[in-house]
């Protein structure tokens, strides 16, 4: 099936703004940055640039993932925040709905990941050439057919949470790449919490956006 990019039309939801940072609740279906081709020019950072011409990228969320993203407003802040992500000084918590009933209450997935070149943008587990990747998980609710979990990525690989959940045998519901087709109209993955140190004060600050599912 050919992918057609139809981003949501609602304006960005601003969670916080000051002289150094902008924090936004990204909707599912909107690119973080422009994709290839004019038809994929509409994206979150382009929309923010209309309101904040100084906006700079720090990190990304997948097209299908919603939730909290932080942007910088100057180069110094961009470097500061990027280093926090690189040195794992930030805390990220995602909420996901998984297929099936997960056994156990919590655990860690430790599987190396790398791009699956013949099938890109898919990623896959590769114990020879993959990059170390770890995800902590905790069950918050389950039924016979579905499990709701909190996911805490230790590393930040592309599609990490999606591939790790698939490797557990419980793909994220609505995942167009790693799950079976379903009635869900979106990927059930949401970045609910982001904690970082403010570049001005160095104090820890937490931003949250409740999952819309």
| Residues with Cβ within 8 Å of residue 82, at least 6 apart in sequence | 58, 59
Domain ranges of the chain: 1-87, 91-197
The Cα 102–Cα 144 span in angstroms is 9
The Cα 164–Cα 108 span in angstroms is 10
The Cα 200–Cα 196 span in angstroms is 12
> CATH number of the domain at 1-87, please?
3.30.2350.10
Choosing among 3.30.300.30, 3.40.50.720, 3.30.565.10, 3.30.2350.10, the CATH entry for 91-197 is 3.30.2350.10
Per CATH, 1-87 and 91-197 having the same topology is answered: yes
Known catalytic residues are: 62
| Pairing of β 66-72 and β 189-197 | parallel
pLDDT in tens, the chain (213 residues): 678 999 999 999 999 999 999 999 999 999 999 999 999 999 999 999 999 999 999 999 999 999 999 999 999 999 999 999 999 999 999 999 999 999 999 999 999 999 999 998 999 999 999 999 999 999 999 999 999 999 999 999 999 999 999 999 999 999 999 998 888 889 999 999 999 999 999 999 999 999 999
């Amino acid at each position: 099936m050919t992918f057609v990019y139809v981003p949501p039309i609602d304006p960005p939801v601003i969670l916080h703004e000051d002289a150094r940072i902008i924090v936004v609740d990204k909707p599912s279906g909107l690119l973080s940055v422009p994709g290839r081709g004019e038809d994929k020019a509409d994206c979150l950072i382009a929309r923010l640039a209309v309101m904040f011409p100084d906006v700079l990228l720090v990190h990304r969320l997948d097209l299908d993932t919603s939730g909290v993203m932080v942007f910088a407003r100057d180069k110094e802040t961009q470097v500061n925040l990027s280093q926090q992500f690189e040195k794992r000084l930030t805390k990220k918590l995602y909420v996901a709905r998984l297929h099936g009933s997960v056994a156990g209450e919590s655990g860690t997935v430790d599987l190396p990941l790398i791009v699956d070149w013949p099938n890109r943008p898919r990623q896959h587990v590769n114990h020879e050439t993959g990059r170390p990747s770890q995800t902590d998980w905790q069950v918050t609710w389950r039924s016979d057919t579905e499990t709701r979990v909190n996911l805490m990525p230790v590393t930040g690989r592309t599609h990490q949470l999606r591939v790790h959940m698939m490797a557990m045998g419980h793909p994220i519901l609505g995942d167009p790449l790693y799950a079976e087709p379903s009635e869900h109209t979106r990927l059930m993955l949401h970045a609910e919490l982001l904690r970082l140190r403010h570049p001005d004060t160095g104090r820890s600050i937490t931003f949250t956006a409740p999952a819309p599912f």
